[in-house]
């Protein structure tokens, strides 16, 4: 998704402006007002966070090398706002939140063609609908390594009827109140609540469903021509749901993952986790007199959400005709072998950058569910992340030592910890320490999954890194051991910015610290992040210069700023 190529403005100017602006590159200006509005994403009226009166937010379309300038005004009455990709922009990490009434200008260079999206990164704004697509075309004179005749964006999200405020209070309550499964899965912000087409299909009421609704919730049908190749740009900004997408009677060829080209491979269906994006090629080689389902189902959690559906339509005369066969059924929610087999098919396209052969540092991160003072939390190496009020970027740069926990967080966990069982002592602590990374080192991260609080439960977590792509060196079962080292793929591992850990398993990744800044690395499931599931990497911050005052005007850096003004 987002953050690669979309770096904090200051960082982007150190690293990119000097040598990556190509001739012909443009600055594209956007002016956005963010506010709450009434909307019916699934035909039931709710409140959403809109941008310029639109939900989802406007699509940003640019060419690689362009500079994007977004002037964002927070018109929410009560809360701050921040956009991840716009400047990486995580509140408390690289900048202050934008308060009600304030405007912030995000400037960043989109350095790589691909399929991305942006979303709010303050509280649970993504759940409230603050997101949109970001599509970067290849620079003039460049070519994609595959051919296609047309394209469609499919931005996937999940939707609850309960307000995000209600959800947040529940998550931070004792006893804990889980948000439950989403009411609806949305495709480009549109879905059909209480209208499971799959269920209704057999008794002829499907028509009422698929074509039900007003402008805001009626599905967008993909109108295609026969014998062409279409690029579907699929991105998931779900708060919770892992998804699987299938197209009736059609196979797909995966060609891109998180803005990186992959070795093309054919699939019947596509797994996609929150934070990820893919491009798949679809060839319209079926009977053109019929329509075909696009079906999206929930994976990894026992679904209580109907499939999201829309249609591929070949011929204008049959636009409203429903397919004669039922929508493709996505694999059962707990068929993890299916998901692993998909993940293990993803390799970098030949000619992609290869990882260094050796690592300088290895950080092992144990993912556990815990209790703190009776509150349910997620912890990494037994620390649940609680962000400080002063953003790290400024406090590290200016050595404001009291701004956060100066004790280095652990790089491993006790060797006798049994990942297959609930923690023997579920208690954990909160913290906000930082992993300090020196410039130009090769860092390996091993994400180690474990049993949650209940016996025999281990969940899927899609981990997302800001500021970097990383190589995915491999996945495995159980606890990572020395023996697994030999199995790591150093030949053609895919570059990504989001990667999943499977239940009771591990995932290994590698990156090189070539992008000074402070970067969040966290589970992309919104409630999990809210419950502390993340860590912070501070990368060669001494090389970050000229942090804009606006990014510092809060907490201790804000006080420091006032001090400078008086001098």
Ligand X SMILES: *[C@@H]1O[C@H](CO)[C@@H](O)[C@H](O)[C@H]1NC(C)=O
Chain residues in the site for ligand X (CB under 6 A): 194, 199-200, 202-203, 205, 373-374, 382, 414, 417, 423, 425, 427-429, 440, 455-456
Task: Assign 126 to helix, strand or coil.
Answer: coil
Nearer to ligand X, 194 or 332 (CB): 194
Nearer to ligand X, 442 or 489 (CB): 442
Binding partner of 528, given Cu ion, ligand X, none, CB within 5-8 angstroms per partner class: Cu ion
Question: Which of residues 272, 437, 525, 538 is near Cu ion by CB under 5 A?
Answer: 525
- For 94-109, b/e burial (b = at least 16 CB within 10 A) is bbbbbebebebebbbb
Binding partner of 203, given ligand X, Cu ion, none, CB within 5-8 angstroms per partner class: ligand X
Q: Residues binding Cu ion: what is the number (CB under 5 A)?
A: 4
Binding partner of 461, given ligand X, Cu ion, none, CB within 5-8 angstroms per partner class: Cu ion
| Least spacing, CB of residue 415 vs Cu ion, in Å | 24
Binding partner of 525, given Cu ion, ligand X, none, CB within 5-8 angstroms per partner class: Cu ion
Binding partner of 490, given ligand X, Cu ion, none, CB within 5-8 angstroms per partner class: none
Nearer to ligand X, 271 or 459 (CB): 459
Following DSSP, what letter does each residue of 533-565 receive, concatenated? -EEEEEE-GGG-----GGGT-SHHHHHHHHHHH
**Cβ atoms within 10 Å, residue 517:** 29
Binding partner of 382, given Cu ion, ligand X, none, CB within 5-8 angstroms per partner class: ligand X
Query: Which residues touch 377 (CB under 8 Å, ≥6 apart)?
Result: 369, 370, 371, 384, 428, 430, 531, 532
Q: Say how many Å lie between the first and final Cα of the chain, rounded.
A: 43
| Least spacing, CB of residue 359 vs ligand X, in Å | 11
Measured distance CA(47)–CA(36) in Å, rounded = 6
Task: Assign 99 to helix, strand or coil.
Answer: coil
| Least spacing, CB of residue 379 vs ligand X, in Å | 8
CA dist 250 to 53, 310, 317, Å? Answer: 36, 14, 21
Does 461 sit near Cu ion (CB under 5 A)?
A: yes
Nearer to Cu ion, 81 or 525 (CB): 525
Binding partner of 523, given ligand X, Cu ion, none, CB within 5-8 angstroms per partner class: Cu ion
Measured distance CA(233)–CA(218) in Å, rounded = 20
Binding partner of 534, given ligand X, Cu ion, none, CB within 5-8 angstroms per partner class: none
| Least spacing, CB of residue 533 vs Cu ion, in Å | 5
| 44-52, 143-151, 458-466, 557-565 -> range binding Cu ion (CB under 5 A) | 458-466
Binding partner of 208, given Cu ion, ligand X, none, CB within 5-8 angstroms per partner class: none
**Cβ atoms within 10 Å, residue 194:** 11
Nearer to ligand X, 250 or 359 (CB): 359
| Least spacing, CB of residue 206 vs Cu ion, in Å | 35
Q: 365 near 380, Cβ under 8 Å?
A: yes
Nearer to Cu ion, 525 or 541 (CB): 525
Measured distance CA(358)–CA(382) in Å, rounded = 28
**Cβ atoms within 10 Å, residue 8:** 31
Query: Which residues touch 439 (CB under 8 Å, ≥6 apart)?
Result: 513, 514, 516, 539, 540, 543
| Least spacing, CB of residue 198 vs ligand X, in Å | 10
Q: 540 near 377, Cβ under 8 Å?
A: no
Nearer to Cu ion, 7 or 461 (CB): 461
Measured distance CA(495)–CA(511) in Å, rounded = 9
Strand 442-448: give its sheet, edge to edge: 429-431, 383-385, 375-380, 361-372, 442-448, 505-512, 470-477, 495-496
Nearer to ligand X, 89 or 423 (CB): 423
Question: Which of residues 72, 499, 523, 556 is near Cu ion by CB under 5 A?
Answer: 523
Binding partner of 374, given ligand X, Cu ion, none, CB within 5-8 angstroms per partner class: ligand X
Nearer to ligand X, 29 or 438 (CB): 438
CA dist 109 to 64, 97, 427, Å? Answer: 8, 21, 44
| Least spacing, CB of residue 203 vs ligand X, in Å | 4
| Least spacing, CB of residue 429 vs ligand X, in Å | 5
| Least spacing, CB of residue 54 vs ligand X, in Å | 27
**Cβ atoms within 10 Å, residue 77:** 9
| Least spacing, CB of residue 564 vs ligand X, in Å | 32
Strand boundaries in 224-343, DSSP class E: 229-236, 242-247, 252-257, 260-267, 269-272, 277-283, 291-299, 308-313
Phi and psi angles of residue 390, each rounded to the nearest 5 degrees, phi first: -95, 125
Binding partner of 200, given Cu ion, ligand X, none, CB within 5-8 angstroms per partner class: ligand X
| Least spacing, CB of residue 472 vs ligand X, in Å | 22
Question: Which of residues 107, 377, 522, 528 is near Cu ion by CB under 5 A?
Answer: 528
Binding partner of 75, given ligand X, Cu ion, none, CB within 5-8 angstroms per partner class: none
- Tokens of residue 357, six digits: 């052969």
Binding partner of 323, given Cu ion, ligand X, none, CB within 5-8 angstroms per partner class: none
Nearer to ligand X, 86 or 413 (CB): 413
Provide the mask over 483-522, with x wherever binding to Cu ion is found by CB under 5 A and - wherever it is not.
----------------------------------------
- Tokens of residue 72, six digits: 């964002």
| Least spacing, CB of residue 232 vs Cu ion, in Å | 26
Nearer to ligand X, 406 or 425 (CB): 425
| Least spacing, CB of residue 167 vs ligand X, in Å | 19
Measured distance CA(321)–CA(533) in Å, rounded = 46
**Cβ atoms within 10 Å, residue 7:** 28
Q: 463 near 524, Cβ under 8 Å?
A: yes
Measured distance CA(485)–CA(483) in Å, rounded = 5
Measured distance CA(510)–CA(361) in Å, rounded = 10
Nearer to ligand X, 205 or 545 (CB): 205
Q: Which residues bind Cu ion (CB under 5 A)?
A: 461, 523, 525, 528
């Amino acid at each position: 998704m987002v953050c690669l190529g979309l770096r904090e403005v200051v960082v982007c100017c150190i690293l990119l402006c000097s040598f990556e602006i190509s001739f012909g590159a443009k600055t594209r200006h956007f002016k956005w007002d963010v506010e709450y509005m009434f909307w019916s994403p699934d035909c039931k009226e709710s409140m959403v966070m809109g941008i310029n009166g639109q939900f989802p937010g406007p699509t940003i379309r640019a060419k690689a090398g362009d500079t994007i300038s977004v002037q964002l005004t927070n018109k929410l009455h009560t809360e701050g706002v921040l956009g991840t990709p716009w400047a990486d922009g995580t509140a408390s990490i690289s900048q202050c939140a934008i308060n009600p009434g304030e405007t912030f200008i995000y400037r960043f260079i989109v350095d790589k063609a691909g399929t991305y999206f942006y979303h709010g990164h303050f509280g649970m704004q993504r759940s409230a609908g603050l997101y949109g697509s970001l599509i970067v075309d290849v620079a003039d004179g460049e070519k994609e390594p595959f051919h296609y005749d047309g394209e469609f964006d499919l931005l996937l999200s999940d939707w609850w009827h309960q307000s995000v405020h209600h959800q947040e209070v529940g998550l931070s309550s004792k006893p804990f109140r889980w948000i439950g499964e989403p009411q609806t899965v949305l495709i480009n912000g549109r879905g059909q609540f209480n209208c499971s087409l799959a269920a209704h299909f057999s008794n002829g009421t499907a028509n009422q469903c698929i074509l039900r609704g007003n402008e805001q919730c009626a599905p967008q049908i993909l109108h295609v021509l026969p014998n062409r190749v279409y690029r579907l740009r699929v991105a998931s900004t779900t708060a919770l749901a892992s998804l699987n997408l299938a197209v009736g009677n059609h196979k797909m060829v995966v060609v891109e993952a998180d803005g990186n080209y992959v070795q093309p491979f054919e699939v019947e269906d596509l797994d996609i986790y929150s934070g990820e994006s893919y491009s798949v090629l679809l060839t319209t080689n079926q009977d053109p007199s019929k329509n075909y389902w696009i079906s999206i189902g929930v994976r990894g959690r026992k679904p209580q959400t109907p499939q999201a559906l829309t249609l591929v339509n070949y011929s204008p005369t049959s636009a409203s005709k429903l397919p004669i066969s039922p929508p493709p059924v996505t694999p059962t929610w707990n068929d993890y072998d299916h998901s692993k087999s998909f993940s293990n098919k993803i390799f970098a396209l030949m000619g992609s950058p290869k990882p260094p052969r050796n690592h300088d540092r290895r950080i092992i991160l144990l993912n556990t569910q815990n209790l703190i003072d009776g509150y349910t939390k997620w912890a990494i190496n037994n620390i649940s992340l609680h962000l400080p009020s002063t953003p790290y970027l400024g406090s590290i740069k200016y050595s404001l030592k009291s701004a956060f926990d100066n004790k280095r967080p652990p790089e491993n966990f006790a060797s006798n910890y049994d990942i297959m069982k609930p923690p023997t002592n579920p208690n954990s602590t909160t913290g906000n320490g930082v992993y300090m990374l020196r410039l130009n080192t090769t860092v390996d991260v091993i994400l180690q999954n474990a049993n949650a609080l209940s016996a025999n439960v281990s969940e899927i977590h899609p981990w997302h890194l800001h500021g970097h792509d990383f190589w995915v060196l491999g996945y495995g079962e159980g606890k990572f051991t020395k023996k697994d080292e030999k199995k790591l793929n150093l030949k053609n591992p895919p570059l990504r910015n989001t990667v999943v850990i499977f239940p009771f398993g591990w995932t290994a990744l590698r990156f090189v610290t070539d992008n000074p800044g402070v970067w969040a690395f966290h589970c992309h499931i919104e409630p999990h992040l809210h419950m502390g599931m993340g860590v912070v990497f501070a990368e060669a911050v001494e090389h970050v210069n000229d942090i804009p005052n606006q990014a510092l005007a809060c907490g201790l850096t804000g006080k420091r700023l006032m001090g400078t003004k008086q001098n």
